[in-house]
Chains A and B, each alone.
Chain A
């Protein structure tokens, strides 16, 4: 979706410290050039295919469809990307742009760790130095991802300020960029931040919806009736929705994280139910969860990737104009949706994506049998093994962990590798 000078309605823009002005302009121009350069686009599609395995399938779910007895349910399988999430689409695009700009290092923030891993993978492949900022609390929740980032050669910096989650990681990445902008690119993981990041990330993610357009026509002769995506920062939702923006008969539903409840601090609902307020922070204007005095607030979700205080200005604008309908799913519903997909279809969804499932499953029984819905399965759930085991109260898991720890060599020879 093209912005008006970086703005989508009242949201977006570029509100950054003066020190970053030149670098922001450089990215703006490099992206404008690149997206109109057939050679760049050809390389992008080649890397998407050869490195990430695109196109990802559109999978019909016969058992779920029968279970709910309503709409025909399809999943867009972004979980089958290399790295196991849609994040790969964006990092390949920005990675190629970094090479084009001649920079040597990338900085990224990460919440769940999916974007961190995706960035570390691309950095390794493209020969770039890589520093990942991650909230200390998120590192605790998603250590296996941190482990892989380090194995891939990235430096992972725990962020211990504030609530120690994605928002703080984003602040710290911006601070790094303020001093390193001449040789480093800030490889933002979602369609947030100063212009042109929202537009650029949405552009790279739109491959998701572009493929669904072709696949839906090929598989059932028409576009889907409804699309569902979870909304954290908003990149997988932008990716699925934007290519359908002009198709008035295609309804779009964004699902936010309802967390444990609707009290401030217990959820990450920025758009539905007027819980967020307009604000300008972290480089852009959008709906933020904040108090009366304009201080950004803590958020919660069982899915670290949705635990964010702001939201894409593109999604905020489309929600405000009514083009996208926003709803939310609570932590408990999310675990139930995750479990149902496992049992019925043999697919392990990420907890982030399970929000989209939960939102769709609520509607599916009430939709006509002739209607078709596409849910963006933005990531796979292997990374969530510890959290899901805890949520379903698996009895054997603690014993497994105890046994594992009992045999874990405490003094290792390769300490430095993990330092």
Chain B
């Protein structure tokens, strides 16, 4: 830490703490937003609260925090409820319903604020949107400790969200995946939905006021989405999203301090970098997640092709051995037989050597005993299939080879036995080549 220019535990420590608290508090309910396909709600709420602020200002005539907070929560909730209402009663697509609601509310708030501006300076930018960098400046003394106000507020919000998620975990899970079943099993899915909306609105508004809106809009969605790529289980997804959120907050602040210095500037906005760090973590997960990442899926897609190529190699070597016993085969010959590229043939040769099925000899490659058994199984499957396809399925002879070539890779010993029975245990295949016996 001391390696970073200008790091100050008194300042940067509290900033990171506030960022982590906000990120984790947002990520917890965010999991359910992602599951319920309501990811844009955070952005909607961040715009929809504007008339609430203006109304609180009109009613109280002051810029004190509590009325503003209440007004904002109320209108955040109204954004969610109106969206639901327009969707259900107007049969409007969910996204469009949210779009109509928050833009209309935002326009209303804008008009109210411009009207208010006739009388007094009311800049929503400074009323609503705190900056996380200012966290350490405003401190409260609690039990002899000097703690920034923001940290206290966000800790309370985080605690509330933790209680909400852990107490209602089962109900939230059921109603997110199957609202009808949830209602049928005795609790009101609609009520739970609105409770979730209250939690999201309170979290969002508390975070706007203390650390700015961009952080919470990103943290509601990005860490849960990243976690969804890492696991299939909801419990693990929630834990992972909290860890990822905390991690992106820490990385974000470090990035804000360090990255601009590389280009000759001073540090930049922390909350923006925190959101960006969350995006980078998402990118990593999208590329390298063990199961749903791009790499894993690409490997899985090609895995089958590689397995088949490796097996074909053994079959080719076995047939070669049948015709010219004792001879080795060079890589170029194999490549021609397998119809593969030089790289692919090298890879499967190395792989099968590693598995102990082939061994290098002067002038090329030969099967080991183990490899020979594997090759014989394959060739036996192939020729049994050919026999079966001719005698039982009536496939024309010129198409036999292709079909058998495909089927041989998915045939085990039991199936071979039944194929043998079905074709009266033939000695030779339709081309007249002998069928090798079972090992």
Q: Do A and B come from one complex?
A: no
Chain B residues with CB under 8 Å of chain A are: none
Interface residues of A (CB under 8 A from B): none
